[in-house]
Amino acid sequence: NLAERFTDFTKVLLLCTFFGTFYPLMYFLGAGILFFQYWMDKFLLLRSWQRAPYFGARTSRFSRIYFNSLALMLGVISSAYAYFKSSFTMLCSCDANNKECILPDTQAFTNVELNDGTIIGTTTPIVPSREGFYFCNQDIHEFPPLPIVQGPDKWMTDSQEMLSNIYGMTCLVMLIIYCVLIFGKQTVKAVVSLMKGVYKPSGCNQNKDFSCGIGVVSFGYVPQLMEVPGFHFPLLICDIDAIDVGLMGWKDPNRRDEVDPHRSYDNHNLIFDVPHETLQRSRNEAVIKRTKSDAEKKGRPIFSVVKHYPPEWALRARENQQS
């Protein structure tokens, strides 16, 4: 499941960028997780999982452009707010803000009972700090998180203010760049598309029709039940007599009919388990060419009928090959 793989990758990336500020070892742990995840998925992809449909690079490109860049930007913003609000005590120094704070006259405390009933200071007196603090609001969410938004109550040190200035301006610049590069390009493209065509085909014309690679690179969308417990092959739920069996995408090596390859799939087809007057034949009977009038006489089938209409040159090439 490609969506699940990218979800796991984005989850690890977000965790590292959000918590790496407080615990820098998170980056190494995230790198280790992604390393083992890569090799495990590679082993399962090559040795265990069945072949997945071709998706192309669109999913990975979308994740790389939008989710990965957004995760990095949110990580920088969360780090900026983490340094801005440190040390998360909601206390400001009286001396640093020229506030008059009343300190207790007691020089030491003994036999102090805590809330859990524990008594401390029985042998060694507890000497309080002579530096006063008072409550100040540090729960500020203004953007960008610059020291200037502290107001009259300052809790940052000089080095913390310098680092917060750098982080705050970095956040603002990264947000502008992200909006311009990600949304600006799409906005310009949408406006230009109103005046002229902007579609550009990807790849090149290889001059190969669908009918050129049947059974090799071209497969059909055939209704079937995949991964049914107790069965090694999918179960078909449609009439496949009107298509080339190469469009199936799989073969049962234990049931091969060289004369009529359609009968090789009869034991895997559920339509023969439900007798009905619209069935053109029974299981393991020879396939006969049907006309439109024959199908109308039988009535409307209860199961889907899969058809393929190859071009004239493909029909002639098949007849020459059979002859």
| Residue 23, number of CB atoms within 10 A of its CB | 10
Residue 47, helix vs strand vs coil: helix
Token readout for 68 is 């990965």
Higher model confidence: residue 142 or residue 293?
A: 142
In this prediction, residue 124 has a pLDDT band, given cuts at 50, 70 and 90, of confident
Rounded Cα gap, residues 76 and 78, in angstroms: 6
- Element (DSSP H or E) covering residue 65: none
How many Å apart are CA 129 and CA 17, to the nearest integer? 37
When mean pLDDT is compared across 24-38, 74-88, 100-114, 133-147, the lowest value belongs to 100-114
Q: What is the mean pLDDT of the chain?
A: 79
Phi-psi domain of 90 (left: phi exceeds 0; alpha: psi -120 through 50; beta: other): left
pLDDT score at 53: 64
261, burial (CB in 10 Å: exposed 0-12, middle 13-18, buried 19+): middle
Using CB atoms within 10 A of its CB, is residue 68 exposed (0-12), middle (13-18) or buried (19+)? middle
* pLDDT per residue as tens digits for the range 239-269: 888 888 888 888 888 887 777 888 888 888 8
Closest residue by Cα to residue 93 from 150, 149, 154: 154
Sequence-separated (6 or more) residues with CB below 8 Å from residue 120? 112, 114, 126
Band of residue 151 on the pLDDT scale cut at 50, 70, 90: confident
Structure tokens at 245: 């069996």
pLDDT, one tens digit per residue, over 295-317 is: 556 667 788 888 888 888 877 87
Lowest-confidence segment of 78-87, 101-110, 222-231, 310-319 by average pLDDT? 101-110
Rounded distance, CA 148 to CA 162, Å? 11
Residue in this structure with the two tokens 């995760």, named with its chain if needed: 71
Among the residues of 49-144, which ranges form H helices?
Answer: 58-62, 69-85
